[in-house]
Amino acid sequence: MKAKELMMEGFLNTVPKRSSNITWTEDRKGIVTLSILKNRLVRAIRALTQKPQEITITLDRNGSFIWKNINGKNDFRAIAKSISCKYGKTDKDNKKLFKYAKLLKRNRFITFR
């Protein structure tokens, strides 16, 4: 196996978990809005500058679907399979899922178990 294939295989076996400082809601259309409560230092600075204590981010349809499948039990392989069943995506879309997961991890929205 090539290095990229091994990396993708390892990624697909990883179980993501949502960060504990994020709450989320879902509207009637299934769109998810994340509410991120910042750490104490950031909250203190935001209080002094009269900025909101939390940040909200509204995900798109695909991001919402992925977020709802991140439950601390499903690995990325199961999430990719769910995407494939719902939208008819191919294995090439695993690369997009990988990039999206890296973005969520980098912004500390998820952790890996």
* Residue 29 and residue 49 in one domain: yes
Is 6 a residue whose pLDDT tops 90?
A: no
Q: Give pTM, 2 decimals.
A: 0.80
Q: Which of 17-21, 67-71, 89-93, 100-104 has the lowest mean pLDDT?
A: 89-93
- Tally of structural domains, the chain: 2
* Residue 79 and residue 95 in one domain: yes
In angstroms, rounded to a whole number, what is the distance separating the alpha carbons of residues 90 and 98? 14
Contacts of 109 (CB under 8 A, 6+ apart): 18, 19, 22, 34, 36
Range of the domain at 79: 1-17+70-107
Residue 53 lies in a domain: yes
